[in-house]
Every structure is written in C-alpha cells, then in structure tokens.
Structure 1
Amino acid sequence: MVRRGDGHGRARRPRLPGVPGDRGGDPGTGRGGRRRPGLPRRDPAGRGEGRRGRWTGSRRGRVGRIHRRGAGEGVRRSRPDQLAREGVPHRHRAPRGLILCKHQTRLQSLPVPRSDAPNRALVIGSLLTLWIVWGSTYLALRWALEGFPPMLLNGIRFLFAGGALYLLIRRRFRATRAQMRNSFMAGGLMLFGGVGMVTMAEHHGIGSAVAATAIAVTPVWIGVASGLFGEWPGKREWVGLAIGLAGTVILGMEGDFQASPVGLAYILAAPIIWSFASVWGTKLDVPADPLSNTAVQLTAGGVVMTLVGLLTGESITAMPSARAWWALAYLAIVGSLLAYTAYIYLMHTVRPSLATSYAYVNPVVAVFLGVTLGGEKLSGAIYMALPLILVAIALVATAPAKQEAPRLEPEPAEQPA
C-alpha cells in the first residue's frame, strides 16, 4: 500500500493484531499514538505496577526481549520467531531497535558481598595508644593542675582537641542534627563524669597512681552498664564484680583517700558515669564516621566543662608555669585528640571488654610514672588492691559471650515478575 500525499511512495506499515494502531492511541506514549523516535513502548498490562511493569531500554540492540533465567545466571535475548512459537503477544515484544529488560529491580537487588571486619593494624595501634597514653595522663593532669583550675583545664583541653579534629575532617564530616544531638549528650556526660571527676579528685589531693588504680574497675562497671540495657552479666562477671569491689574497698585504706574523703567520692563516681555513658553512646544514633563522632563528643565535653568552670567561679589568676603548659598541650593533643579518637573507634568496632582493656595496663604505667617521675609514695594498701582489681578485670573480660538463639523468620514469597 502507498500512503497518499507522501510524495515519495513510502510503504505503509501493516497493523499487527493486538497492537494499537498508529492513530488509535498507545497507553504507553500518552501522545495519541504518536511516539518520538527511539522511545520504548510500555507494556499496557503493566500500568499501575510502578517500575516493574514498564519496559525500559536504550536505542541500540536487536528485536527481542530479555529473559532472566535466575539469580546470577545472566540473561538471554529471544528472537521474534521464538516469541511467536512461545505464544508471547505482540504487545509484550520489544519495539524495533531496543534492548529491553523488565527485571531491572530484581537485578539491582542482588546482594553485594562486603567485609565488615575491622582493620587489624588500626585495632592494635588503638589499643597500644590507650594502654600507654592514658596511663600517663594521670601524672600529666597533676602537673597541669599546678597552673590551671580543674574544670577550665579540661574545657580548654577538649575545645582545642574537638576544634582541631573538626578542621582536619571538615570535608568528610557527615552528621544529621539528631546524630549531633545524641553524640553531644553522650560525649558531654562521658567526659564530664569521667575525666572531670578524675581531675577533681586529683585537685583534692588524690595521687595519680592511686587514681589510676581506682579507675581500673571500669570494665566491671561496663558489664553492669550493659546489663541496664538488657545484657546482664553472667555468673563469672558477677564474681569479678565482687572481687573488684573488694579491691576498691581495700584501696580506700590508702593514705590519699583517708586524707580526702571528697576526692574519694569523685574517684568512685568517675568509672560509674564513664561506663554508663560509654555503653549508652553505642545504643544511640550517632555519626557513622568515628572521627565525626569524636569531634562532636570532644567539643561537647569542652563546652560542658567550660560552662561548669565559669559557673563555679573558676579563673586563671596567675601565669601558669612552663610544665603546666606542656602538660596541657600533651593532654589536648595526645591524651584527647589521639587517644580519645582511638577509644571511640574501638567502642564501635570491637567488644566492649577489649575496648576497655586499657584498665589492665593503665594502673601499672601510672604507678611507675608516679613513683619515678612524680615522687609519689605509696603504702601497702595499693599493692594489695591492685592484684584483686586486675583479677576482677580478667574475669569480666574473658567471660564467654552469651549465644543468642537464632530467630527463624519465614522466607518471603517471591513476587511475580
């Protein structure tokens, strides 16, 4: 047939059964049957089914339809004569000049293998940092208190560390308002209740070695804090908790504690608040990036302790000594910026018992530095309490993890294509 008025004798395309005509209107085009060249024809039977009921494709290819044989088995293209033998209606065949696939949604939903195992070198480096650095911060705190009041000292320290870390990671910093709020609350409570209380204890006359030994019960309180969130310790952890409390009672016979009951109250409250805030922070929606989370928490600790120091009337009345300035710089850069980042990384990547294993080594480092560099004199009480506390930590840290019963969920039925 020759269409009139064309002038060049172009043959008219015959109508196919089941296919809307050129002027009959195609539901897939929405333009009264006229479709722009190269655009695919949609499946009229798939209207209202979203992306799964539509044909999609590109301009290149051959006539045919893509069949999905199964997960991971690839695809094949059917020839028009094969489609006719299979009884596939014309409306389900691909338009000429297109490669089409109706199963894009299912192909994109295939699982991508990935590894969530933490970097072993980072874990070892973070553990060594906590073991050595945090064991030395007790003596550094004592030296810094020679020229700075306790709360303003920590406020300056954490504000500097948080601001410096943010400047280093500002291009990769990612956090929503809710995540920043949660991280601010957890970090403010952890640093004020942990580091702030230790600083106040040393300010009231508690020696660095004695303070580190008292803080060594932190893993025991971590187990109790985990129980408050639904993971109660087992029998072995309860035995360790009892031994740790006995060691703490013996440690209370140390001369520093007898001379300063206020310092004793501060040093006993510090590991309890620190442990609760540490476990609570892992249950909140905080920034996924450990560095972003650390920057917010360090800033929160600095803001909270600066406000507390100003409200309680603290002020720097005289120029601090050079040793106090060097101690402050060490606490801000090494003790906060480096070590606290390592602690947050470990709390979100390894078991809490391993993340708090610094309590094994910190008392030994603190006692050695306090006696050799700080000139501290210790009585026999600390040498009796330290072994008991270390045994308690070992019982808690090496306790077998509880096995949760596997939950059997019904396998979802495969939806028809």
Structure 2
Amino acid sequence: MPKPSSKSLIIIAFIAIYIIWGSTYLLNKISVTELPPLFLAAVRFSVASILIFGIAKVLKFSLKITKKQFLNSALVGFLFLVYGNGVFVWALKYVDSGFGALLAATQPLFVLLLMRLIDHKKMRPKSLIGVGLGILGMYLLVSQKELVTNEETLLGIFMIFTCVLSWSYGSVYVAKADVPKNYFVSTGYQMGIASIMLACGSLTLGEDWTSPLVWSPKVQLAMLALITFGSIAAFTAFNYLLKQVSTEKVATSAYINPIVAMILGWYVLDETLSTQSIVAAVVLLTGVYFITTRKKDIV
C-alpha cells in the first residue's frame, strides 16, 4: 500500500484541526457541566498519552528522548494543554461554547504580534488591516451590555484571552524547538507530562475525582471523543503542521473552528448569539483572513 504524499497528509491534518477541534468546544462544554475542569483535562490527556505510547510501541516508533527534548516538551505541554486547554475548559463554565470559540479566533492576531516581538518580522499592510479588524471585533464581542454586567462572564472572557496568549506563544516556540522528531511520539510526551501537571493542580485545588462509571452517558461519550479525536488525531495533526507549514497558516484553524463550534452549540445545546456577536464574528474572522492569507500559500 503506497504511503500518502506529504501534500495529502497536510490536507488531512488541516481537516483534522479545522473540523475536529471545532467540535471540541461543544464536547468540553458538555463535560465541564459535570466534571471539574483540571480533572477533566488530566483524565483526557493521561488516557490519550497512554494510548499514543501503546500505538507507537506497536508501530515500533522510537520513544527515546533527550533531556532538552523532555524539557521542551514539558514547557510546550504546559503552554498548550495545562494552561491553554485546562484553564480554557474552566472558563467554559461561564461562557457559551460558540462564544468561547469566537474569542479563541483571536489566536492569529496574538501569533502575529508575538512573531513581531520575538522574530522582529515586519507586518504587511494586509496584516495591519487584519490587526485593526481583529481589535474592533474583540471590542464588539466583549462590550455587550449583558456581558459587562456579569462578573463571572467577564472573568471567563479574560481567562480565555490569557489561554489564547499561552497557546499562541506555544505555537511560535514549538515551531523551532527541539522536540522528538516523530510527531506522534512528541504529542504523547506533551500530553503525558501535561496530564501529571494537571492532576497535581486538580489535587491542589481540591477538585472532586469520580469514576467514569458514575458519569452520565453523554459525558462518557464526550470524553471518549475528546480523547480519541480531539487529543490523539487533532493534536498530532497540529504538531505535524507546525513543522511542515508556517505558524500563521496553522493558525487559520482559528476562523474555521468558531463556525463549527457555533453551529454545533446552536444545534445541540440551543445556544444563542446576539446580533452584535454575529457582527463581531464577521469583523473578527475577516481580520483573521487578512492576517493569515498570503500571495503564495504553503500547502
């Protein structure tokens, strides 16, 4: 059986981070209604890492890792999974899944600004337009009266923005970092290390740990999907893309994920979006489009 070409793998990986990750907002929202957020994330990533290492062993992938690769994996695991995901899931207790996905759509803006600060990359005129539209879109999102008067929602919004910053810095860092060359193995180490940190954080905060046997069927199914598709498939695809195409191009998932998340949130959870949120979404995603498009795309 011939191996798929590099271009085919890149296309499949993009589909994974576009569609699967878009659905994880809904899955996390369902799960966090019953489970503590850090415990939820710890279970998700510990099981996923065990499965990944098991599959890697069967496929005879090398699991060797240097001290530097281990430390880099720990840092990236913290930025992506402990803070970027664990705290984000906590924030979903206070905001709708579709709204949270819209806030996460600001990632390309953060990536662009970080690359400007870290790599001193000049901003193109289109990028400057995108930044302006992104800032306007963010203002329209968070300036709604019903949000300003709700302190818990405001806290959730603020924490989501810090999560997006953490995820964005991780994206810029891992693109050049020395991590295991096999993307599957690299994902396994990041998740395994992150799950230990998340478990320690959960215990420190006194979260209630429960057996999966007592979870409701919908939470059991949501966690199964988060582990197999959201963690193993999509996150491996994400790590693969960061080494194959530009960081800005990988960040384009930020304007597909919200659309998927909003449709699923509306269909499954009956979430509603105000007219101002819809206008903000259009402005924000247009800004993201300006930031991430180039004359010559790398795919």
TM-score, L = length of structure 1: 0.65
- Aligned counterpart, 1:336: 231
Work out whether 1:176 is the aligned partner of 2:66: yes
Separation of aligned partners in 1, 2:184 and 2:118: 25
Aligned residue runs from structure 1 range 77-116, under 5 A: none
Q: Which moved more, 1:170-179 or 1:341-350?
A: 170-179
Q: Contact 2:73–2:190 at 8 Å: present in 1 too?
A: yes
1:280 is aligned to 2:173: yes
Q: 1:299 to 1:228 in 2, by over 3 A?
A: farther
- Would the alpha carbon gap of residues 327 and 370 (structure 1) be closer, same or farther in structure 2, given more than 3 Å must change? same
Give yes or no for contact 2:36–2:207 (8 Å, CA) kept in 1. yes
1:181-208 Cα offsets, whole Å, 9 max, x none, are 21121122221221122201112x2000
Structure 2 unaligned residues grouped into runs of 5+:
none
**Which SS does the other structure have where 2:85 is aligned?**
helix
Q: Give the structure 2 partner of residue 230 of structure 1.
A: 119
Q: What corresponds to 1:8 in structure 2?
A: none
Give the counterpart letter for 2:55 in structure 1: L
Aligned-residue sequence identity (percent) comes to 27
Counterpart mapping for 1:183-262 below 5 A: 183-203=73-93, 205-236=94-125, 237-254=127-144, 255=146, 258-259=149-150, 260-262=153-155
Larger radius of gyration: 1
SS of 1:148's equivalent in the other structure is: coil
Amino acid at match of 1:244: G
Which whole-Å CA distance do the structure 2 matches of 1:164 and 1:233 have between them?
42
Within the alignment, does 1:126 sit opposite 2:13 as a pair? yes
Structure 1 CA distance for aligned equivalents of residues 271 and 286 of structure 2: 25
Structure 2 counterpart of 1:267: 160
The answer to whether 1:158 aligns with 2:54 is no
C-alpha deviations, 1:251-306, integer Å up to 9, x for none? 11354565222111111111111000111122221111111211111112212211
Tell me if structure 2 keeps the 8 A contact 1:257–1:263: no
Aligned to 2:285: 390
Q: Which has the higher contact order (CA 8 A, sep 6+)?
A: 2
Secondary structure of 2:178's counterpart equals coil
How far apart are the structure 1 equivalents of 2:228 and 2:148?
A: 30
Tell me the equivalent position of 1:349. 244
Contact 1:163/1:299 (<8 A) preserved: yes
Task: Tell me how far apart the structure 2 counterparts of residues 155 and 268 of structure 1 sit (CA, whole Å).
Answer: 22
Greater share of helix residues, 1 or 2? Answer: 2
AA in 2 matched with 1:336: S
- State the partner residue of 1:290: 183
- Tell me the TM-score normalised to structure 2 length: 0.89
Residues 76, 174 of structure 2: 8 Å contact kept: yes
Q: Give the Cα separation in 1 of the matches to 2:91 and 2:203.
A: 19
Contact 1:157 1:331 in 2 (8 A): yes
Whether 1:379 and 2:278 are equivalent positions in the alignment is no
CA distance in 1, matches of 2:122, 2:137: 19
1:201, 1:263 within 8 Å by CA — same for their partners in 2? yes
Deviations 1:361-414 (A, max 9, x none): 11111111111111112211211111111111111112468xxxxxxxxxxxxx
Q: Which residue of 177, 182, 196 corresponds with 1:303?
A: 196
Verify the 8 A CA contact 1:206 1:257 in the aligned structure 2.
no
- How many residues of Structure 1 are paired with residues of Structure 2 in the alignment? 283
SS in 1 for 2:256: helix
Contact 1:240 1:393 in 2 (8 A): yes
| 8 Å Cα contact 1:206-1:256 kept in structure 2 | no
Distance (whole Å) between structure 1 residues aligned to residue 202 and residue 178 of structure 2: 29
